[in-house]
């Protein structure tokens, strides 16, 4: 049923490059202390920095809170990619 509503709402709020509050998060594809890759309603979002931590994740509400030293936020236009492995290869290859 979620596939019917591909273009959803996505909101990003950042405080002092230390905290990031997001809505419209469909899934966490990968994460470590330097990179977090999220699938959002409006595309893939790569967050880079240091000491990154997912403080809260509620996929039922499509919300997440991230903390750490945020250096960059990069969107790609792929929405609802079926083959996530090949997408990761394209992003990091």
Query: Tens of pLDDT along 14-69?
Result: 999 999 999 999 999 999 999 999 999 999 999 999 999 999 999 999 999 999 99
Identify the band that residue 8 occupies on the pLDDT scale cut at 50, 70 and 90.
confident
Q: How many CA atoms lie within 13 A of 26 on its CB side?
A: 20
H/E stretch holding 85: helix 84-92
The secondary structure of residue 62, as a DSSP letter, is: T
Number of domains in the chain: 1
pTM value?
0.75
Domain extent at residue 83: 2-92
CATH number at residue 83: 2.60.40.2000
Identify the band that residue 90 occupies on the pLDDT scale cut at 50, 70 and 90.
low
Mean pLDDT of 72-92: 64
């Amino acid at each position: 049923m979620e596939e019917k509503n591909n273009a959803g709402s996505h909101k990003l709020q950042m405080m002092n490059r230390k905290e990031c509050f997001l809505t419209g998060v469909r899934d966490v594809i990968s994460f470590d202390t330097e990179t977090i890759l999220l699938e959002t309603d409006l595309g893939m979002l790569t967050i880079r920095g240091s000491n990154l931590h997912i403080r809260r994740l509620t996929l039922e509400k499509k919300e997440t809170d991230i903390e750490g030293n945020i250096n960059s936020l990069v969107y790609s236009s792929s929405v609802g990619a079926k083959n996530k492995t090949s997408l990761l290869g394209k992003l990091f290859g």
